[in-house]
Structure 1
Amino acid sequence: MLVLEDFTPGRVFPLADYAVTRDAVVEFAAEFDPQPFHLDEAAGAASMLGGLSASGWHVAGIMMRMICDAYLLNSTSQGSSSVDHIDWKRPVKPGDVLSGSSTVLTSRVSTKKPFLGLVTLRTELQNQTGETTAVCEHLLYCLTRQAHEEGTIA
């Protein structure tokens, strides 16, 4: 299990590839972001997106899945209280294969809860041609090694 001490500034966690399908783009959009350019090829082509494109919120969800698979589910994660920013740099379209990485920017012990660490990460996604599609800076709370070994939570 990854603990605070494993999240050293500069450490990079590679994210596994994720293939974006048309069905997933339309299904997500139909439920959560039913703007025409996320639902219909013609509407997408007529928009500034240049074709049917995934909702930014869908891309954020894909990013979260990639983060979970890369390191989060093998950590002492206690959740998060913020995303400092997310930038959608270019449209994600059906057929795109996303890859990327999360880089630790900062890591420190909480002054209020010394069993807890605060880690700031920057996650970047690229499509199959290497173009950046999304960038996010986000906070992660995780247990210190001592707290994990002692079973301290709360």
Structure 2
Amino acid sequence: MPWFEDYQVGQVRRFGRYEVTAQGVVDFARRYDPQPFHLSEEGGRAHPYFGGLTASGWHVTAMAMAMLVAEMPEGGDPAALGASGIDELRWLKPVKPGDLLSLETEVIDARLSEGRPGLGRLQVRTTVLRQGDEPVCRFTALVMVRTRPS
């Protein structure tokens, strides 16, 4: 389990595997983003940009979160305290059923908390990749991590 001290600015990791399915796209859309291009192939074809059934950007972000959590040790990571927010969320390209998603994370900043001893703050840029190399979504998470116990 990595503690704050185990992270280095510039550290890059690639991991995860999430296959996008038509049923998953439609199920998510019905519940959270019921726009026509997320609900059916026909609705997506009627859209001038998508050209077919397309996952909601919120769904893509949720799939990224599922891959991040799957990378944690079973039962959770005692050093990880969650995130205090997301900056610069961008949906770069449409995600379609049949796409295989993975993640690349890069630590872009690491600082000890000035007001809370035992706590570090990381800025981690996460890029969702389609078929292993094409960026489709990018965001920067503000992650809180415990420092190594003395």
TM-score (norm 1): 0.89
Segments ≥4 residues shifted beyond 3 Å: 71-75
| Structure 2 counterparts to residues 106-117 of structure 1, below 5 A | 106-117=109-120
CA distance in 2, matches of 1:103, 1:71: 16
1:53 aligned partner: 54
- Compare 66-75 and 51-60 and name the one that shifted more: 66-75
Q: Does the CA-based 8 Å contact 1:17-1:97 persist in structure 2?
A: yes
> Does the residue aligned with 2:143 lie in a helix, a strand or coil?
strand
| Structure 2 counterparts to residues 5-44 of structure 1, below 5 A | 5-44=5-44
1:82 aligned partner: 85
Deviation, 1:139, is: 0.6
Deviation, 1:61, is: 0.4
Paired residues in the alignment total 147
Is residue 91 of structure 1 aligned with residue 90 of structure 2?
no
1:139 aligned partner: 142
CA distance in 1, matches of 2:141, 2:125: 7
CA distance in 1, matches of 2:51, 2:62: 22
> Does the residue aligned with 1:42 lie in a helix, a strand or coil?
helix
CA distance in 2, matches of 1:132, 1:63: 12
Unmatched tracts of structure 1, length 5 or more: 150-154
TM-score (norm 2): 0.92
Bigger strand share: 2
Q: Does the CA-based 8 Å contact 1:13-1:71 persist in structure 2?
A: no
Q: Does the CA-based 8 Å contact 1:80-1:140 persist in structure 2?
A: yes
* CA RMSD in angstroms, aligned pairs only: 1.5
